[in-house]
Amino acid sequence: MQNLKKRMEKIDDLKERLKKIIKEKAIVYKEVKLSSGKKSNYYIDGKLITLSPEGIYLVSKIIFEMIKDQNIDAIGGLTIGADPIVSGVSLISFIEKKPIYAFIVRSSQKEHGMGKLIEGNIQKNWNVAIVDDVVTTGSSLLKSIEAVESYGAKIKKVICIVDRKEGASQAIEKKGYKLDAIFTKDELLEK
């Protein structure tokens, strides 16, 4: 029980540091068009976090802690939002002696070489986690879920860094999964 308490305190510290970095470096208040096609008066640039040394460490460590006791064989998601996350979590898992393989879902199936839709390490019946950086409607996560289900792997966790609270959670639930967000927009935006 004491170890669980210490682990939770450490995760809370990591989340507080990550929140500070996101607020300082990744949130822009201006009108933008999102990948979902929606317009917004703010933008959260997840790549500024996941492509920075401290940011990717914090994200990877937090997500690893979220899945390390879930019997996860591999972690993956749609390119490009998931790319640094899956690599970071896989690296942390190796350091922590609980290896989790990584894979990437292409936005469209390759028309040359092996013609793959999923690149990397995944096998039929493996337990997997699906990840993304910032989600709005959940379309990237849904594309990853569909690819993984058609491959024959089993989805155990669906995780994002930030849920903009614009339908992703409901869309994921309709597919029979739960979206776990490190943060929601309400936790990050200025009040």
Q: How many CA atoms lie within 13 A of 16 on its CB side?
A: 6
Q: From the centroid of its chain, how far is CA 120? A: 17
Give 111-162 pLDDT, tens digit per residue.
555 556 788 989 999 999 999 999 999 999 999 999 999 999 999 999 999 9
The answer to whether the pTM exceeds 0.85 is yes
pLDDT at 85: 98
Q: What is the DSSP string of 100-121?
A: -EEEEE-SS--SSTT--SEEES
Task: Give the H/E segment covering residue 183.
Answer: strand 179-184
User: What does the angle CA 39 – CA 146 – CA 141 come to, to the nearest 5 degrees?
Assistant: 35
Nearest to 131 by CA among 189, 188, 185, 83: 83
CB-based contacts of 191, cutoff 8 Å, min separation 6: none
Q: Do residues 76 and 118 touch, judged by C-beta distance below 8 A?
A: yes
User: Is the predicted pLDDT of residue 92 greater than 70, yes or no?
Assistant: yes
